[in-house]
Structure 1
Amino acid sequence: MTEPQNAADTEIAAPHKRDLIAGLEKGLQVIEAFDQERSRLTIAEVAQRTGLTRAAARRYLITLAHLGYVRHEQKLFSLTPMILRLGQSYLHSARLPRIVQPLLYRLAYSLEEAASAGVLDHDQLVCVAAVSAGRLVSTTLQPGTRVPAFCTANGRVLLAHLPQAQMEHFLERLQPEQITAHTIVNKDRLALEIARTREQGYALVDQELELGLRTMAVPIRNFRGEVVAAMNISVHAARMKLEEMVERCLPAMLKIQVELGALL
């Protein structure tokens, strides 16, 4: 039986507009305006990406530069390494990465393959823990990396365990990009892959995010059986077939899955 929410929990879940700090929200939007494609932006570009006026964008950038999170070179602004403190605060304080990392390390080195764990953030998969085990198969396998959920094994596992209405809404708003020749962009076929993942308990993705990269993922559950994350094994396509991944890697992954369920 679910315990009733108290008044404070209800207020946080559905806050009044008067309780929100608009300046903090807009400041974070300015930080999020920088990405891999556009790592250096002008004031006008930041304003366009955030919906702020040029004057407001300028003030936020100046403030972030004063705090050390942004550097200014001529007319271009870019993030500094200090911004990593924000992500490190999560990795150091959140319980999930701290518990998952040691078992992920054991899994990766027992199989001699790269392993990672991730969570959903809207329509993207965010890596929260990773171990290369000497196999540098992808630059996406590092904490903090964000990739589309629809074409990744971890992402499909997490999508498969969403409530049906949420999963259907995800597919409705999804505009899948043909990242490689193998990427599934047909929504009906994608829905079938997600359903198959739910039924068989694991996901296999063959070179849909990167050419040469094959991944297999299983859900990570807490002690109540709720799916809180997903973990995967990644291999070079030239070294291992999909059938071999299931035969060789899945038993070890399921063992770690059970151990994590007792700890989370």
Structure 2
Amino acid sequence: MSNSVSGLKTVERAFEILELLKEKKEIGVAELAREMDIPKSTVHDYLRTLTSMGYAVNENGKYRLGFRLLEFGGQLKYRNRLFHIAKPELERIAEQTDEIVSVNVEDRGRFVILHAEHTSKSLQLGIYPGITIPIHTHAAGKVMLAGYDDGRVDEIIDQHGLTAVTEHTITDRDELEAELETIREQGYAVDWDQQVVGMGVVAAPVKVEDQVVGSIGIVTPTDHLRDEEYCAELASEVQKSANIVSVNYQYSP
């Protein structure tokens, strides 16, 4: 094996360890070695290096992610133009509705929450910047899919599939295509119980020169969306907000 290939494998394995630390929250060397099917001595070498660099922390023999990663995530968000443009609108809607409001992007075919605002009366779902979920399971993801051309949609579905997250998740390709067409016609999306049972979402796309750059979503209890009048109010509000963000994104200095 060439040195370059060996080096790339080393980097890949380091990130696999970070992914497992994220998934497990904390884990010991022996368990991590079993998960990765590599020697404990090798795992220990990786963890020692990651710890020395601040990406992992050793607490009584258990390892967890280090706060150094928070610096990267924080900078990524605060350097993002969409975050800064959307934040005032998210704050306004959250204060007005007492619902969770988020601005979202697509990354490598996955739905990513860039930022969320909420109040003490909002659902407490543990939503945080950077959380990543299957894009087809969430109205704020589907409004982005609806704005892509067929080739891009095919690429995302071929790569990630249509995995069920709840019993209500759309897993049929034709059914998803029909919903995307409805979203295109009405300009917004509504669904519930597809990503979390009891959670509903109303969302609209943020577009710049007809290109989707993200979405605005309002997260509310499912029962709220069964009230047609309230659902219509949220749909109107999220469309207005997405339009404001779209214009400001294009023209603000």
Q: What's the TM-score once normalised by structure 2's chain length?
A: 0.83
Q: Give 3-state SS (helix, strand or coil) of 2:148's partner.
A: coil
Superposed displacement of residue 32, structure 1: 2.4
2:137–2:169 contact (8 Å) kept in structure 1 = yes
1:75-114 to structure 2, matched below 5 A, reads 75-114=61-100
Gaps of 5+ in 2: none
Q: CA offset at residue 85 of structure 1? A: 1.5
**Contact kept? 1:197, 1:203, Cα under 8 Å:** yes
Q: Which residue pairs with 1:236 in the alignment?
A: 221
- CA–CA distance in structure 2, aligned partners of residues 111 and 148 of structure 1: 26
**How many pairs are equivalent?**
245
Cα distance, 1:99 vs structure 2: 1.5
Distance 1:206 1:27, change over 3 A: same
- State the alpha-carbon separation in 1 of the partners of residues 18 and 87 from structure 2: 28
Match of 1:191 among 158, 177, 181: 177
What does the per-residue CA deviation read over 1:106-133, in whole Å, with 9 as the maximum and x for residues that have no partner?
A: 1222233221111112242111111113
Per-residue deviation at 1:238? Answer: 2.6
Counterparts of residues 1-264 of structure 1 (less than 5 Å): 26-36=13-23, 38-43=24-29, 46=32, 56-73=42-59, 75-222=61-208, 224-241=209-226, 243-264=228-249
Identity of aligned residues (%): 24
Aligned-CA RMSD value? 2.8
Q: CA deviation at 1:52?
A: 7.2
Structure showing the higher helix proportion among its residues: 2
**Residue 53 of structure 1, CA deviation:** 6.9
Q: Secondary structure at the match of 2:106?
A: strand
Single out whichever of 42-51 and 63-72 deviates more from structure 2.
42-51
Whether the 8 Å contact between 1:152 and 1:208 is mirrored in structure 2 is yes
Deviation at 1:56? 4.9
Q: Which moved more, 1:165-174 or 1:230-239?
A: 165-174
Q: 1:200, CA displacement in angstroms?
A: 2.0
Q: Which moved more, 1:72-81 or 1:129-138?
A: 72-81
In the superposition, relative to structure 1, how do residues 71 and 203 fare at CA in structure 2: closer, same or farther (>3 Å)? same
CA 1:52–1:256: 2 relative to 1, 3 Å: farther
